[in-house]
A and B are shown apart, each in its own frame.
Chain A
Amino acid sequence: MSLRVKERKGVDFFDGLFMEVCSPFQKGASYVIKKVKGVFQEYFFLVHLHRENERLKKRMADLQRENDQMKEMVLAQERLRKLLEFRETLSSTVIAAEVVGRDPSSWFKSVTINKGEKDGIRKGMAVISPEGVIGQILKTAPSHAVVLLATDYNSAIDSIIQRTRAKAIVEGGGENRCQLKYLLRAEDVVVGDRVVTSGLSGYFPKGLMIGEIRKVDKKGHGIFQYAELVPSVDFTRLEEVLIIKEITKELSSQPTEEKGKKGRKGK
């Protein structure tokens, strides 16, 4: 074969002619074939791409959902860790519960929790969170209970101003606010003062944060002054709470408490 190629001087006339005549047709045919093939390839490719796109979209949605779930788990874990740490600072007679429902009316402020009499929950028990006081148990059922929030008009918690040790009663003021009652006019109270539980009621341990004073009003007559406070707990975002079954020891690591000042007053 190589010998024959070597021997040839050039292309034969007829060979060249045929090639010249055929090649444009060949070129045209291959162009058409290429185009048709291209269209089909594009089409199949697009169909495949569409399927792939759908599959990827689904996969992305799955991953997004998984990501959201994991984020939620991390947040829940963080909240539970805080709750657990806080629980350890209190005593062993504290029960953790989850908020499962809220008040159906707009007049009252309460939440329903998933622990009840079967878990040892009784009416009047204090309900708290790492941020501070939440309220008290109002009604109980075998496996559920209703917590009256500190912002409800019917709520009253014995308290003291942390800085001056002035005594007062914190009453609910409705929409995420409370008011201080029976606070003597002579007492020195300023905006920003922290209000904590007095421990005198027997249900709340001493020194739990209730809120910060937002407004002081000494206008008017009488022996008392009026103050408004913002609760330390955001009641609109309650998810887990702690219920104090029995006060057995002092809140040793509470930042709101004056350590070693006084003994426990609760009950």
Chain B
Amino acid sequence: MRRTFIPLFLGILFLILQTTLFASFPIQRVKPDLVLIFTLFLGLSFSPLSGGILVFFLGYVIDLFSGNSFGLYAFSRPLLFFSAQLFKDRIYLESYFLRSLFVFLFTLGEGIVILILIKAFHPEPLQPPYPLFFTGFLPQAFSTALLAPVLFSIFKKGYSLLYAQPGTGLGVRGKT
């Protein structure tokens, strides 16, 4: 039960922080996407089913609080999660730089997907929102990437504390 509710609670907490605390930063464009970092962490450590449902729900909640009415994040976040699942147990994300790079590339990928979807779903020919890509999205992507290594470390510690199996791990004598 706690495997589901704790990540869900954390995801919602990050969303609240993102919409309140980080939105009131003096530099408004520096608004790290905590939920995205969390989604990628879930993608690297959770099972496809439980993690997928959780991430879909988080994407749906983002859509509720966001100005889009197409459900873009309910689509893009599971996409991000399953893309991260492809790298599960395949990449070694121990260095800070690699973590940052990993998150930055995924953020960029999601941005491009959303940009394409906005263009596709808009009923009228739309003045391309490219200025937003540079003025809003890229600063957010950079700040997210910068914050990612620290959060990854915290998530990892929390994950190992919460989901440690009894009888395994360091300090436990194995059977002879």
Binding site for B on A (CB under 8 A): 100-110, 112, 138-139, 146, 148-149, 152-154, 171, 173-175, 179, 236
Contact = CB atoms under 8 A, between A and B. Distances in A.
Interface residues of B, number: 35
A104 B35 contact: yes
Contacts of A153: 118, 122, 126-127, 129, 132
20 contacts: A101-B19, A102-B24, A103-B67, A104-B35, A104-B62, A105-B33, A105-B66, A105-B68, A107-B68, A107-B115, A108-B68, A109-B67, A138-B67, A153-B127, A154-B68, A174-B129, A174-B131, A175-B132, A175-B135, A236-B28
B132 A105 contact: no
Given A138-B69, A154-B68, A175-B136, A103 B131 contact: no
B23 A154 contact: no
Interface string B130-148: 0110011101100000000
B123 to A, nearest CB: 10
Contacts of A138: 67, 69
Given A146-B67, A153-B126, A173-B127, A107 B118 contact: yes
Contact of B67 (A110, A171, A173, A236): A110
B172 to A, nearest CB: 42
Nearest to B127: A179
A19 to B, nearest CB: 78
B168 interface: no
Which among B35, B64, B68, B131 has the highest number of chain A CB atoms within 10 Å? B68
A107 B134 CA distance: 11
B29 interface: yes
Given A105-B33, A107-B118, A149-B67, 20 more contacts: A100-B20, A101-B23, A102-B20, A104-B15, A104-B18, A104-B19, A105-B66, A105-B68, A106-B140, A107-B68, A107-B114, A107-B137, A110-B67, A112-B19, A112-B65, A146-B64, A146-B65, A146-B67, A174-B136, A236-B28
B99 interface: no
B19 A107 contact: no
A171 B122 CA distance: 13
A117 to B, nearest CB: 14
Interface in B76-117: 111, 114-115
Nearest to B34: A104
B69 to A, nearest CB: 7
A39 B62 CA distance: 67
Across chains A and B, which 8 residue pairs bring their CB atoms closest together, nearest first? Answer: A110-B67, A108-B67, A102-B23, A106-B136, A101-B19, A174-B132, A106-B140, A175-B135
A219 to B, nearest CB: 15
Given A153-B118, A236-B28, A103 B136 contact: no
Contacts of B140: 106
Contacts of A139: 64, 69
